Amino acid sequence: MEMLYEGKAKRVYKTNINDVYIVSYKDDATAFNGIKKGKIKNKGLVNNQMSAILFKALEDKGIENHFIEKLSDGEMLVKAVDIIPLEVIVRNVAAGSLSKRLGLEEGMQLKSTVIEFSYKNDQLGDPLLNDDHIEILEIVSKEELAYIRQKALKINEILQQLFIKKGLRLIDFKMEFGKYKGNIILADEISPDTCRLWDLETNEKMDKDRFRRDLGNVTEAYEEVLNRLKELEE
């Protein structure tokens, strides 16, 4: 199969079906815009299966997304979207770069949900964008940006509720959207690479911060999150 794209965590292949791609998830892990590199054993398998479960759950709640079906534990069939070069970040609790930038203590519940946008551009180091930047770069129209914001908030609500049932707090997460047959739909992945998830009782970090901050037991945390979510399927 022809490989269309190889990113830091995924490979995308063309198929012989029109408008359908295969995404294969890798164990490679990077952080701090590629400065820290490593591998997380079984990460590809976890991220594929977790994304499949969550995309299905979101579809059931009326959130259109690129997921078609799981092909194997490490691969999924997706709709061939044109990715919009925006990282859409939703935050419920202060952590990571928000804590650093604004001097907020990590773990502080935010008064209201925060949405941020970054420009998906490795050379520029994914800079933060405001609405005016998005306008002058012509990434999406004002109406499309309003639509993305509204979907992002809805997705946050659905995911928060779903994770709470599994004893996990959704601290923050990153989404990517794409255009498919004229519509904007949710794409990319939803995994411990792209979400901060803390155990509801112990506040233990169950996500990529274990890799970023060398906290150990990275694979174990990823697998634990997947195992808790798998109960959704049963």
The single residue among 53, 89, 140, 187 that binds ligand C5P, judged by CB under 6 A, is 89
* Alpha carbons 98 and 103: distance in angstroms, whole number: 8
Closer residue to ligand C5P, CB minimum distance, 193 or 224: 193
CB 61 → ligand C5P: shortest distance, Å?
21
Tell me which DSSP letter residue 105 carries: P
87 in contact with ligand C5P (CB under 6 A): yes
Closer residue to ligand C5P, CB minimum distance, 79 or 208: 208
* Alpha carbons 46 and 44: distance in angstroms, whole number: 6
Q: Which pairs with CB-CB distance under 8 Å and at least 24 residues apart come from 150-155? A: 151/63, 151/177, 151/184, 151/186, 152/88, 152/90, 152/115, 153/90, 153/113, 153/115, 154/63, 155/58, 155/63, 155/90, 155/186
92 in contact with ligand C5P (CB under 6 A): no
43 in contact with ligand C5P (CB under 6 A): no
Nearest partner of 78 among 194, 225, 215, 185, judged by Cα: 185
The single residue among 117, 151, 172, 225 that binds ligand C5P, judged by CB under 6 A, is 172
176 in contact with ligand C5P (CB under 6 A): no
The single residue among 55, 117, 163, 173 that binds ligand C5P, judged by CB under 6 A, is 173
Q: Which residues touch 106 (CB under 8 Å, ≥6 apart)?
A: 94, 95, 96, 99
Strand pairing category for 20-25 and 10-14:
antiparallel
Tell me which DSSP letter residue 27 carries: S
Residue facing ligand C5P at closest CB distance: 96
Segment contacting ligand C5P by CB under 6 A, of 42-50, 54-62, 91-99, 161-169: 91-99
121 in contact with ligand C5P (CB under 6 A): no
208 in contact with ligand C5P (CB under 6 A): yes
| Cβ(88)–Cβ(55) below 8 Å | no
The single residue among 27, 64, 106, 126 that binds ligand C5P, judged by CB under 6 A, is 126
Residue ranges that bind ligand C5P, judged by CB under 6 A: 87, 89, 95-98, 126, 172-174, 193-196, 208
